[in-house]
Structure 1
Amino acid sequence: MKYNELLKQRDELDAQISEAKRAESVEAIDTVRRLIADYALTAKDCGFSDAKPKAMVTQSKRGPAPVKYRGPNGETWSGRGRAPGWIRAAEQIGGSRKTFMVTQEAA
């Protein structure tokens, strides 16, 4: 067989595979829905409600970031995420973030 003929056969097989997968997926979804209804299953019963995304689990294990900035009224900010209002206000009137930076000795 020639290379181009084999490629054409592969494309035809890929199309058949896609159609078979779609048809079987529809059947599988119908079966799952029927079983859920028949047995009055909940997401928790199926093990779905207690799962946390990995990013959330990893982030919560890290704990809070250390304080990098301290405001005039004792507010704190780690320097991560959106700058708090007291930093933005100070910068709008010409102040610098550096004036609120916590030194290593003070931290």
Structure 2
Amino acid sequence: MNVTEMSYAQLEEQRKQIEDAMRNLDKTRKTDAKKAVRATAKEYGFTIEELFDLPVSPKSSGAGAKPKYRNPENQDETWSGRGRKPQWIKEAVENGADLSSFEI
């Protein structure tokens, strides 16, 4: 391929392809480097976080707050009392119901 004989559009396309290939290669090299560093750290009995004093993010328990209120018309609908009131609570309170009557 003789670049001196290529048109401007062809050169632009070639440059785009080269830049894309370089970005992909960088991603692959970065991933490989991370794997190698983690493997070496593990070999010595450490994690990356321990070696570089990085904060370890706490694992989520996955469970939300315990429900405090239950819809008597649909036992599957509950509310913890946090955040926005669900529609069934809003409607019941607007119709004169006392919030405490829904407590579990």
- TM tier, smaller: 0.3 to 0.5
TM-score (norm 1): 0.42
Greater fraction strand: 2
TM-score (norm 2): 0.42
